[in-house]
Structures are given as structure tokens and as C-alpha cells.
Structure 1
Amino acid sequence: MGPFDFSVPPFDRLTETERDLLQNAADIAYFKAGERLTDPERPGDVLYVVMKGLVAERDGTDLLAVQGAGDCVGAMALVHGTRQPTCEAQEETIVHVLPRQLVLDLCRANPAFERFFAASLGDRLAAHAQAQQVRGMAGFMVAKVYEAYLHPPLRVPAAMTLREAALLMKEHHATSLLVDAPDGRVGVLSGSDLREAAFVREWPITTPVGECATFETVFIEADDFLFSAQVLMTRHGIRRLPVRREGQVTGVLEMIDLLGYMSSHAHLVAQRIDRATTLEDLAAAARALDPLLQGMSGSGVRLRDVARLVSDLSRKLQSKLFHLLAADALCASENGPGGCCLVVMGSEGRGEQLAKTDQDNALIVREGTDPERLRAVCQRFTEAMLGFGYPPCPGGMMVSNPAWAKSESAFRDDLLSWTTTPSETGFLNLAAFLDAEPVAGDADLLARLKNGVLERLRGNDAFLSLFARPILTFDTPIGFFHQLLVSRKGGAGGGLDIKKGGIFPIVHGVRALALEHGVAESNTFDRIDILRDRGALEPAVAADLSEALQALMGLRLAQRLGRPEAGAPGEALVRAETLTKTQHDALRDALLVVKRFKALLAHHFHLSAF
């Protein structure tokens, strides 16, 4: 008998001793197509684990699931004593056969093993995400010091005065200096050292820095593990380490940068944006977003939080860009140009951005402010974003398009038209606007428009049904037997369009429900939580939707990062042949959630009537 595959759940949770017991007790069975493994009249006395083939589980005529390689068959009846479903081989199938008593003994001895059999689709997706997070944290354990952000070493003589040191640190935005003593020692002078000398000890500003620097310096080598740096900082109660390579100090690692590496340098990008004074500075910050996303993928951070972080940084970038460009065109208030409101839409507006996606933005201009004054600013804004690596919106939803940069009253007229004269273009525009979030300027301009739409459409069931209908436009790529349906679009091997067939139905379906219930939030995960709290979604459905959306976003991100040749992100297909068994199962479970959600919405919005 061939070895049992312990790499797939839940058998990956067994100890070595438990694996030996299972391997010794397992048998192999063969079933022809159409042959039953179980039926309701027979008690569940074994657990089947599919090695090859497909098995359909049915309750009467209802298809419950289709199990493939690595999947368990008959688990619920075996473990929980429930009624056995009819399990039938759909093709030639080979299975491992595990005795009932062995499985029960393993469940009693291993709670993690037992929990697997009680899991819903959402639970399994959450477990998959948690496993990815644990693997991601392992990357930090083997990362080297030189891979983290190192501050350039600013070396000064011990004779430099406190005042000169303070001015130098301000000029270079530094938090510390390396002090060279006459005897060859290297010390560290931090900003807190300066403050203590000047304000606590009240030393004269002409005091040499050598008198307040710390010369019992702890160094770390550039090729040491980053984890070692964390241990050193903790052990010595310090917040920075000079980094050496071949005896020469090459930089300074600070505690905040070490923590920043664990969160993939997000704070460093934010600092670059905050400190930017030119378009060149912002361009450098924009370039840092790409390695940020690479680092965040598999870092152990939830995908919904990664997306929110990337979106927030992108919004921050655009806010700073708009302030730089609009300074001469508008009088800047404390919160930015107050005569208008720059908004972002699409995935960025929802806080679900995982790449430099198409520009989807608009400018709402306050009544009394001439939009023409800002035409040049809007054009330069779009051109700068192109230079930063953000593609143009194919539909022209950009501030450089006068249709998306105009007065509040003009937008109000558009919204009235989109909601009273339904059309495909109107639905697209309305969907984008419902996802809008303010970036710079007067946020009340956007809030008034969105609240007006929510009030106007309250109770308008006919419009809501039309608005929700696009969820049925694209087929979800999973078949009757729960197998993945691969499209041949895009070359040999084909792939699955999980954006259209998986992500879009969740995002737009939740958006339609949010519109129906007057939910003003734009983030899909937030909308799901609010709809659950209001009773518009069952808790189990809400949990499954959130986990499914995260799983689909994660798979799409992994495909983007692994296949740059795939072209524009929106056109990339997930290649089924590149998926691991765990990824394949996560995708299958996520698409099953999508399929059920579409059926729920079709019933709720009476979509079959169209």
C-alpha cells in the first residue's frame, strides 16, 4: 500500500505517533464509476480519504458536495452519528479506508483534528488563512538585518556642540547620530539624549555631544538574523543598533524599523509621503508601494487589513499630490483645499486595493467655486498618477475628465439621472459613486451626495432589483460536481477569472444589499458586518462571505505577484495548474460560497423575473 498523504488537512494536524497508527491501520479500496461508497441504510463504520477520482455526496436528489483527491468522505456520519448521505463514485476512484474506531480515537486525542470535521466552509477558509499567516511569520525568523530599512549613518566628532547636533538631525530628519570619540570608540546620540541634556540637566547648548552620547554601543552585523536584532534590543533595553559590515558601520537599525519590517515597511512609506515636498519625492514613495505589497503578501497579516493599509497609503499619496498641485489654485484650509473634495472610487474607495489599480477618482467642487480654475490641476494630477504607475481608467473616471470634476449640483443631477433612468452606464457610475471615499478637501460635499442617494432609493424595490442583476452576468467557475471550470481564454492551459466569477458577485451583491438597507460605509467587509448586525444577513452567511472574499483576494494577489507576465491585473486569470492542493481547496470552497450567495440574492431581489 502506498504511503498516506499527511500534508492535507486534517491529517497534517496529527502527531508522529498518531500518523504511525493511522498508516498501519489504513487500507485501500477501489470503486467503479456509479458504485456507492455509502448510503443512508448503512451505518458509517469507515472513513474514506480519496486518493484519486471524484465522489458525489447527495441527500436524496440534492447534491451536497463533490470530493476529490485528499478529501474525506462520510466524515459527518462517522464522527457525529448523523444520517449517512449517499456517496457515489463519479469516475474510477481509489480511496484510503480508515476504521471508525481509529478515527474516533484520534478525535478524542487530538482536538485540532476533531475540529476539522465540525467546520463550515467559512471555518475551513479561515483555517486556511490562519495557516498562511503562520507560514508568513516564519519569513521574519529567517530575514537578515540588511533586508530591513537602515538609516544612513550620520557620523559626527565628539567635539560637536549640542546645538550643531540638533540642527544636523533636523536637516536630515534623523533620530540619532553616531559619535566618533578621539580614542576610536563609536557612540550613539539619540534625540532623547539631546532633550535630556538640554531640558532635564539644563546643560548649555555649546556642550560637546561626546559628554552625553552612549559609548557602550551594541553593534550587530548586517548578515545577522533580524530576529537576533530584536533579541539584542530587548536584552539591552535599547531602541537602535548600529549595523556593521566588514568592520564598517553601514547604517542604523531602529526599533520602529524592525517592527516596520514585520508590517512590511508600511510606516516608512507613510513617512516618505508625509515628508514629500516635490513630485519627485512622491514618485519615490509610490515606487515603495510595490515592494511593500510583495512583503505584505504572506506576512501573516489578514488580507482585508493588507488591502485597507495599501488603500490608505494610496489615498495618502493622492491627498499629498493634490495639496501640492492645488496650493496655488485654491486657498488651503487647515484640512486641505476647502473649495472642493477629491474622492477615490472602486477598490481603492472600498479600501480593498491590492495593487496600483486603475485610477478611479473624481472632484466635487463647492458651489461658488469655478471648476474651470482647477482644470489644469486635474490634468496634472492624472498625469502625475500615470507617472507613479497608476493606469488610466478605461471608462474615463478620472479628474482629468470634466464629467468627473464638476460642481456638487452637477453631480446631484447625475445621481438623479442614474437612479431615475436606469441604464448599464448609470448602474456602473452609481456603483462607483457608492464606493467613493474622500481623500482631500471638504468631506461634507461627498457625504451630502451619498446620503441623498440612500434616501432617494429607500424602499425602491424595482430599482434595487435592476441594480443587483449584474451579479448574474458572469458565471462562477465551479461546476455541478463542485469541480473548478477552467476557461481556455488567455492561452494554453487556460485559467479561472475569479474577479468576475467570484469577487465581483460578492462585492456587488453586498453593495446592493447595503444600498437597500441605507448602509453608507463603502468597505465590503464593513458592509457585511453591518448587514449581519441589522439582521439582513445570517451570521453564518456573513462569516462565509468575509472568508471567501479574503480567500479570493489572496489567490488573485498571489497570482499577480507570481506571474507578472499575465498582463494587466484586471485581465489576469488564475491558473489552476499552479495551485497547491490547499489553494485549490480554498478556491473551491470560496466559489461554493459565491454560488450560494448568488442564489440567495436571486431569490431576495426576484432576479428570475427579468
Structure 2
Amino acid sequence: MERLSLDQICKEAAGARDVPELRAFRDRMHGEFQRHLLFASPLEWNRDANAFHDAVIRRVIELSEQDYAAAHGAAPLPYAFLLFGSGGRGEQTLWSDQDNGLIYADPATPDEEAAAEGYFKGLAEKISLSLELAGYPPCSGNVICTNAKWRKSVTAYRQTIAGWLQEPDWENVRYLLIAADLRTVYGDPAFGEAVAEEFHAYVAAHPSMLEHLLHNTLHHKVSLGLFGQLIKERYGEDAGGVDVKYGAYIPIVNGIRLLAIEAGIRSTSTEERTLALIRGGHVEEEIGHDWLEALNLAFKLRSMTPYQIIDGRYNSRGKLTAEQLTKERISELKLCLRIGIELQKYVKRSVHHELEKGQ
């Protein structure tokens, strides 16, 4: 960062003595990052902001681990903490919520398994509560380490992924796409990599899975009408505004993720996935750079959406207000959305072409 020393910021987060101190530091840094957005490219800003989030989250986990171990002893098995959603992609806004999981080494005996389940259930509750105190609200979709679905041993995680793959109904495919963005933020990365391998190896061996993944991928439509008009919110306090998260950012993220899965690319960052698609010759350079331009704009606009602090936790509906839709913003938004529409068409053609090859 030009105006901020990112290394110094991350070191200060890592040195926080407790969660309240860490929360106060996070609050101060929000203003710094919002000012820095005026001077940095959104892609660069996103990388820096997410390095900061990672440092805060890691310190929350360390402090929670220390407190829990003081009362309940050391962890019975090695474990890792996973991020999903925007956290897994390294694309959190300053007010993102918790999308996370906990994974631990395989127990050797039934007694060890019971001990591990009990210990990590308690530790997950401690970490999640501490993250809330640090300002991260729990995931509204319950993709969180306190949910047993997202807290398992390595083998149990892999078995869960395998079950979803073998029964690819809408809900299971939704879970698979969530898991496709997993990233280890704390602990042994090999645990998360084993889960990712279960998913990627199956899709590589069964290309027909791409059809199931495609339906979910194209579920969120770009917020641009047939005649090039913005599709705006019609009712409520957001009336006249535009949903940047689900109308622009998510369609871009989803489309590039599926192309990366199809190409066997393991990166979880949308920027890194796009660059890997270009390097691997999976997409023409000019088209890939159009996608990066749309992603850059989506990051910028998403970071401008209003947020609130509710019960001490950061929240945002991910929508630009009617007042924010200046001539310049509308021009940027329409460019982003037009590229998003072309991306969705590209994804559909690419998957259908891949399926035809396999017939």
C-alpha cells in the first residue's frame, strides 16, 4: 500500500492482546482503508484489505485457542480454520460476515473421535463468538464453524463432498460451489487441500457434473434490462438503488469460478482464476482482461455501498443507493454489467462445448 504500511498494520493486528483491542484497531483501520480506496486500484485495494482481514481473523483464532486451551486443555488433534464465500476468495468487503468452517485430523479411535467432536464444537463456538465481537456477523445461510455440517474431520469432510457430488440436487450443488471457494486461513493447509482434491478430481472424472454446476452458476442474473437499462430496487428503503452484490459482483464471480473448475484451476481468488485462465490459453487475453476490468469495477462499486453497525457487528445490504447513482457511477455500472452478461453467455457456451466433447 502506498499510503499505508500493510506489513505494519498486519503486525499490529497480530500483536493485539485481546479481542476488544483487536476490534478497536479494526474500527480505526476501516477509515484508513476507505480513504486508501481513493488512491489505489480496486484490485490492489482488495488484496490489501483482505490481507488485513486475514491478520485480524488469525489473531481472533489464536486468542480464542489460548483462552479455550486454558480452560479445556490443548486441542486433541491438529486442525485448520477454513474460509468460504468472499473470505475464501480473498474478496471480503470491510463489512463482510462469517463464512467459515473447521477441519481436523482423522481420529484414530472412537474415543478420540468423541473427544475431538466435543473439543472442536466448543472451540468453534468460542472462535465464532470472538469473531462476532470483532465485528463479523454470523453467516445468514449458516455456513459457519458452529454448524456441524462445516466442522468435521478430513475424512468426514471428504465423504460429505462425495455425497453431494453423487446426489447433485440444487441444494447439494450450492454447497459444492461454496466448498469450491474454500481457503485455509489458519492451521495446516493440507487438510483443506484434501477436501478440494475430492471435489476437483470427481469433476475431472465426471464432466457431466458441469451441467449441474452451470444451473446454479447462472441463477443470479445481471441487473441490466433487455434495453440496457439498470434494474433497480422497486420497494422499501433501497427503492431506486441497485443491488451491486447479487446483480453485478456475484454473476462475475460465479461465472469465472465455473470456468476455472472446468479448466482444473485450483486458485480461489477470482482475479487469480482469471489470470490462470488467460495464461493457460482457456480464454483469449482480450476477453480475460475485459473480465478483470468488470471485476475491478465490481470491487470498487461494492466497496462504496453503505454499511451499518448493528449490535456491534458490521452489516451491508450490498446496494448502491439512488443518491449514489451519479452519471459516472451509472456509466461504470453499465460497463460492468454488459461485460457480466457476455461472461454468462461465454460460460454457457464453454460448458456446453465441454459436454459435447464428452458425448
Q: Does TM, scored on the shorter chain, surpass 0.5?
A: yes
1:170-569 maps to which residues of 2 (within 5 A)? 262-264=2-4, 266-298=6-38, 300-327=39-66, 328=69, 339-368=78-107, 370-491=116-237, 493-560=239-306
Q: Deviations over 1:550-580 (max 9, x none)?
A: 102211212326x889x98552422355323
Which residue type is aligned with residue 353 of structure 1? Q
Distance in 1 between the 2:238 and 2:62 partners?
Answer: 47
Distance in 1 between the 2:198 and 2:238 partners?
Answer: 49
Contiguous gaps of at least 5 residues in structure 2? none
Could you tell me whether the CA contact under 8 Å between 2:98 and 2:136 is conserved in 1? Answer: yes
Q: CA deviation at 1:482?
A: 2.0
Q: Which structure has greater strand proportion?
A: 1
Distance in 2 between the 1:338 and 1:309 partners?
Answer: 32
- The residue aligned with 1:203 is none
Which TM-score applies when normalising by structure 1? 0.52
Q: CA deviation at 1:582?
A: 2.2
- SS of 2:305's equivalent in the other structure is helix
Q: Deviations over 1:200-236 (max 9, x none)?
A: xxxxxxxxxxxxxxxxxxxxxxxxxxxxxxxxxxxxx
Distance in 2 between the 1:330 and 1:318 partners?
Answer: 22
The 1:577/1:356 distance shift into structure 2, 3 A limit, reads closer
Contiguous gaps of at least 5 residues in structure 1? 1-259
Q: Deviations over 1:272-331 (max 9, x none)?
A: 222123233322333234223322221x21212222222222222222222222242675
Distance in 1 between the 2:232 and 2:202 partners?
Answer: 42
1:80-95 maps to which residues of 2 (within 5 A)? none
Q: CA deviation at 1:444?
A: 0.7
Distance in 2 between the 1:558 and 1:367 partners?
Answer: 43
Could you tell me whether the CA contact under 8 Å between 2:64 and 2:127 is conserved in 1? Answer: yes
How many equivalent pairs are there?
341
Distance in 2 between the 1:272 and 1:489 partners?
Answer: 43
Which residue type is aligned with residue 315 of structure 1? D
Q: Deviations over 1:69-121 (max 9, x none)?
A: xxxxxxxxxxxxxxxxxxxxxxxxxxxxxxxxxxxxxxxxxxxxxxxxxxxxx
Which residue type is aligned with residue 154 of structure 2? E
Q: Deviations over 1:401-435 (max 9, x none)?
A: 22221211110111001111112222222222211
- SS of 1:605's equivalent in the other structure is helix
Distance in 2 between the 1:492 and 1:395 partners?
Answer: 22
- The residue aligned with 1:45 is none
Distance in 2 between the 1:367 and 1:422 partners?
Answer: 26
- SS of 1:362's equivalent in the other structure is strand
Which TM-score applies when normalising by structure 2? 0.86
Distance in 2 between the 1:570 and 1:431 partners?
Answer: 23
- SS of 2:320's equivalent in the other structure is coil
- SS of 1:438's equivalent in the other structure is strand
Report the aligned-residue RMSD: 2.6
Q: Deviations over 1:349-388 (max 9, x none)?
A: 1111122311011110101262322222211111111111
Q: Which has the larger radius of gyration?
A: 1
Identity over aligned residues, as a percent? 24
The 1:487/1:524 distance shift into structure 2, 3 A limit, reads same
- The residue aligned with 2:321 is 575
Distance in 2 between the 1:578 and 1:385 partners?
Answer: 31
Could you tell me whether the CA contact under 8 Å between 2:243 and 2:320 is conserved in 1? Answer: yes
Could you tell me whether the CA contact under 8 Å between 2:64 and 2:123 is conserved in 1? Answer: yes
Which residue type is aligned with residue 445 of structure 1? F
- SS of 1:389's equivalent in the other structure is coil
Q: CA deviation at 1:517?
A: 1.4
Distance in 2 between the 1:322 and 1:288 partners?
Answer: 21
1:153-164 maps to which residues of 2 (within 5 A)? none
